[in-house]
Structure 1
C-alpha cells in the first residue's frame, strides 16, 4: 500500500547535506526520508517488536519529500545527463537545440551539465528557496556568546510545500500516517526557531512512463542510491546485478555522482557509519535489459528513501516531458470564512491584554492618590507619628504576590490595621481587601516608587 504525505514548512527547516559544524553546510533541496522516519519513531513510545517491524525491518519505506511548485506540480531532480548550451536559459519545454540529453547522444562542445535543479513535467525549472544565517555558540559556563565560535546554517525557507510517500503493508502505513498527521519538528536545531512543519495525508504520486518497445533501459534515480555489488559490499560503480536484473551498463552514456557523509545519530550521541551514495539525478543506461518500466527501488537503505528510480526506455529528458504530471492538493493560503489564523488570535489576545493592563494602571494611579491622603489622615490621628504600612510592608507584599502567596498572610502585620478615619472599613487592610492580586502587585510597585520620593506623603 502507498500513501502520500504533504509537508508544509511552517518555519525554516535545516536539511544539511552533511553533519559538519564548520563553515555553512549546504541544504538539501528536499526533505530526506530519514527525517520522516525519525519523526515517526519519536512520535510514540512504540513497543520493541513493533518498532523493529516499522523502522528497521525494511518493510516500511519513507520516500523523500520532493518540492512542489505553487500550482501543485511535483518537481523532480534534473537528470545529470541533461546539458544546456552555455549562456542559454532555455527550459526543457522550449529546448530548440539548447538542451542536449547525453544519455542518448554524444556530448558536444559548448554545453554544460544541469545540476542541483528540479524540473516539473511541463519542462519548467522550479527553484527551491533557501536562506543562510550566521550564529554564534553559547558558552555553557557563562551563558554568553563563545569567543570565536561562529557557525552558519542554510535552511529551506518557510512557506514551501513538499510531497513525500509511505509504502509498505497496509496496517503499518495506516499506523505511521496517523502518527505523522499534524505538526512536527524536522531537521537540525529544532530547539531553536527551526523545523516546524505540518504533515497531511494525501493521495500518493505515481509516475508511469509510456513504452516504445526498445530494450535499452534508462534508470533515472529520484533519490540517492546506496548501491551494493555482487560481493555484497557498497560500490560506486554498480553493474546490472545491483539492480537485480541482467544487461550491460553503458558507462559512456551513464552519468553518476557520489555523495559521502556520516550522519549524526542524536540517540547514540555519535556519528553513524560513513555512507557512499550515488546522488539523486544520476542516470544509468543499460543495454538488453528486461527491467519493467515504472518506479522501482534498488539497493539498501530503502526504508530511508534511498534507491527510488524511474525506469524508462526513453532518454530521461524525453521521459520527463512524457510523464503525466501528478498534482498535489495544495493548502488554502486564506483562512476559512469566520475563522481566525493563529497570528490574528495572538494579536487579539495581545490587544486584550494591553487594554486590561492600561485599565489596571488607571485604577492603580487612583489608589496611589487615595492612599496619599489616607497616610496624611492616619498620621494626624496618631499625633504626627508614622502610620500605615511602610516600604518594607509594601516590598513584602510585592515579592509575596510574585511568588503566589496569599494576600491575607502578607497583610498580617500591625501597620496594615492602622486607621485613617473612624469606621470599620477605615483601615489600610480593609481598604485594599477587594483588590485583585494582579492589581495589588501593580499597586505595591507604584507605592514603593511613590514612597521613595522626598517628602512623602506630603509632597505631591
Structure 2
C-alpha cells in the first residue's frame, strides 16, 4: 500500500474530548483519531465512484495524527516505561529491569510523547488549556442560569502529522488527497472558537524507518508489540479488551502476561452525519505493550497488515520489536517550542481598534517631536508673535497641497521686510524653521503652530 503523509497545523484550539460525559470532568485526547480524517473525505462521498472501497474497506486507511516535532513523527510513551517516585528523569524499561520493579518505589509513565534522536529518547508533553463557558439566553440577552460548562482543548500553533495508506487498486487517490488538503474544522464547538486547522501534503515524516522489525534482537525469543495506535479486538463477534493469539490474528506462539503493559478505554464515537452516537468501542490504548513468545516469522510479517477491526480508521497499527523496547536508552525531557503565527485580522471592530491605536501612536510620536523642537529652540522661537503663528496656521488650514511653498514665501517676506521689528523676529530662527519645513509633514506643523504660542 502507498503511504501519503500530511502535516496539520492547529490554527485554533481543538476540543477532542476523551469521554462522552455531558456532565463532570472530561479531559482532552492527546491525538486525533483517523475517523476524523475519514469523515473529512466522506463529506464529498458522492464525488467518488469507488466510495464503497474507500470508506467501507481496509483498502484506504486513515492513521491517527500525532505531534510533529522538528520534522519527526512523535510516538506515545510506552506503558512499560517507569521511573522512581520523585525522580521522573531516570526512566527505565520494566521488562528489562525486573529488580527495580520488585524492590523500588516506582511510577508508570503514562503521559506524553517522545522522539528518537541518536538513540536518545526526548520526552515532551502536550499543552492544553481550559476555558469556562456559559450558555447564552438570546431572548433575555444574558447568560442562562445554571448552564456553566468548560472545555479542555489542545493548544493552537501545534504541528501534527498523519498518513493515509492507499491500496494500489484504488484509482481515485488524487481525489482523496484533494479532499484532505486546505482549511478544515474538527472536534467540538467548530461553529464557535475551536477546531480550525490547516492540512497540507508532505513528502515523508522522519523517524518512520528507525524502528526495526527483527526477532533476532529480542530477549530470549520474546517479541514485543508496541501499540502505535488504538487496537480494537474481537472475540466471537464481540469486542474484547483481553488479547489472545487468535484475536491478534496469529497462528502460533503465546502471550507472556508478566511482561505486558496494557491500558484500555471505552467510548462511543459520534457520527456527525446521522447526529447520533454509535455503539460503544472497547480499545487497547496507544502506548500499550504486548509480549509474545514462540511466534513464527510468517506471523510477524502478518502483523504489518494491522490487528483487529476498524483498520480504515487507523486502528490496529503495531511496531514489532522497536529498539526502545529492546534495550535501555538514555532519555531527556524537553519543551516543545511553537512560534505564535501572526493571525490575519478579519473583524471590522478589531481593524478599527488597531487603526485607532496606530493613529494614537503616530500622534504621540509627533507630539514628542514638536515638544523636543520647541524646547531646544525656545530662545529663538519666542521672538515670533502669536499672530504670526496664527497666519502660518491659516496657511496650513486652507492650502493642503502647496502649504510648504506658501509658508516659505511668508517667512521670506517677513525676513526681508523693511520693518526692522518684523525682520528681527525671524532672524534667529529662520534656518531652523525652513529646515523643519523640508523634513516634517503637515501634522507636525499644525501641532507646532498650536503649541509654540503656549510655550512662551
Could you say which TM-score interval applies, normalised by the shorter chain? 0.5 to 0.7
Instruction: Report the alpha carbon displacement of residue 82 of structure 1 after superposing the two structures with TM.
Output: 0.9
Tell me if structure 2 keeps the 8 A contact 1:207–1:295: no
Asked if 2 retains the 8 angstrom alpha-carbon contact of 1:82 and 1:317, the reply is no
Q: 1:77·1:222 contact (CA, 8 Å) conserved in 2?
A: yes
SS of equivalent to 2:287: coil
8 Å contact from structure 2 (residues 83, 108) kept in 1? yes
Q: As a proportion of its length, which structure holds more helix?
A: 2
**Separation of aligned partners in 2, 1:195 and 1:201:** 19
CA distance in 1, matches of 2:34, 2:109: 24
Contact 1:186 1:195 survives alignment (8 Å): yes
Q: 1:289 aligns with which of 291, 295, 304?
A: 295
Judge conservation of contact 1:296–1:309 (CA < 8 Å) in 2: no
Secondary structure of the structure 2 residue equivalent to 1:285: strand
Distance 2:353 2:266 in 1: 54
Identify the match of residue 248 of structure 2 among 243, 246, 260: 243
Which residue in the other structure is 1:264 paired with?
A: 270
Q: Secondary structure at the match of 2:259?
A: coil
User: 1:73 and 1:139, CA in 2 relative to 1: closer, same or farther beyond 3 A?
Assistant: same
CA distance in 2 between counterparts of 1:23 and 1:314 reads 40
Structure 1 residue aligned with 2:314: 305
- Residue 25 of structure 1 deviates from its aligned partner by 1.7
Question: Residues 37 and 63 of structure 1: is their aligned pair in 2 closer, same or farther, counting only changes over 3 Å?
Answer: same
Rate the CA distance shift 1:29–1:250 in 2: closer, same or farther, 3 A: same
Task: Map residues 59-458 of structure 1 onto 2, 5 A cutoff.
Answer: 59-69=59-69, 71-90=70-89, 98-106=90-98, 107-108=101-102, 109-122=104-117, 123-139=121-137, 142=140, 144-170=142-168, 171-205=171-205, 206-210=208-212, 211=214, 213=216, 214=218, 215-229=221-235, 231-245=236-250, 246-290=252-296, 291-292=299-300, 296-312=305-321, 316=325, 318=327, 343=344, 350=351
Measured after TM superposition, the shift of residue 89 of structure 1 is 2.8
* Counterpart position of 2:57: 57
User: Is contact 1:103–1:285 with CA below 8 Å preserved after alignment?
Assistant: no
Offset from partner CA, 1:345-403 (integer Å, 9 cap, x none): 989x9479969xx9xxxxxxxxxxxxxxxxxxxxxxxxxxxxxxxxxxxxxxxxxxxxx
Structure 1 residues 334 and 156: alpha-carbon distance in aligned structure 2, compared to 1, 3 A threshold: closer
- Aligned partners of 1:18 and 1:263 also within 8 Å: no
- Residue 319 of structure 2 aligns to a residue whose secondary structure is strand
> 2:421 matched to which residue of 1?
none
Counterpart position of 1:21: 22
Question: Normalized against structure 2, the TM-score is what?
Answer: 0.66
Q: Is the 8 A contact 2:226 2:322 kept in 1?
A: no
Structure-1 separation of matches of 2:225 and 2:288: 8
The verdict on how the C-alpha distance between 1:159 and 1:313 changes in structure 2, with shifts beyond 3 A counting, is: closer
Superposed displacement of residue 241, structure 1: 1.8
> Structure 1: where are the runs of 5+ without partners?
91-97, 323-331, 336-340, 359-460
CA distance in 2, matches of 1:158, 1:101: 33
Q: Which SS does the other structure have where 1:234 is aligned?
A: strand
Shift of 1:132: 0.8
Q: From the superposition, tell whether residues 320 and 308 of structure 1 become closer, same or farther in structure 2 (CA, over 3 Å).
A: farther
Change (3 A) 1:45 1:144: farther
Shift in CA distance, 259/345, structure 1 to aligned 2, threshold 3 Å: closer
Shift of 1:315: 6.2
User: Is contact 2:111-2:125 (8 Å) kept?
Assistant: no
Q: Is the 8 A contact 1:62 1:305 kept in 2?
A: yes
CA contact (8 A) 1:104 1:315 kept: no
Contact persistence 1:60–1:173 (CA under 8 A): no
**Cα distance change of structure 1 residues 102 and 354 upon mapping to structure 2, 3 Å threshold:** closer
Q: Is the 8 A contact 1:21 1:151 kept in 2?
A: no
Conserved? CA contact 1:7–1:198, under 8 Å? yes
Cα distance in 1, alignment partners of residues 330 and 52 from structure 2: 40
Superimposed CA distance per residue, residues 131-157 of structure 1 (whole angstroms, 9 cap, x where no aligned partner): 111111234665542211111111110
Specify the alignment match of 1:373 in structure 2: none
The aligned counterpart of 2:33 is 32
Between the two proteins, the alignment pairs up a number of residues equal to 333
TM-score by length of 1: 0.65
Name the counterpart of 1:448.
none
**RMSD (Å) for aligned C-alpha atoms:** 3.2
Change (3 A) 1:354 1:132: closer
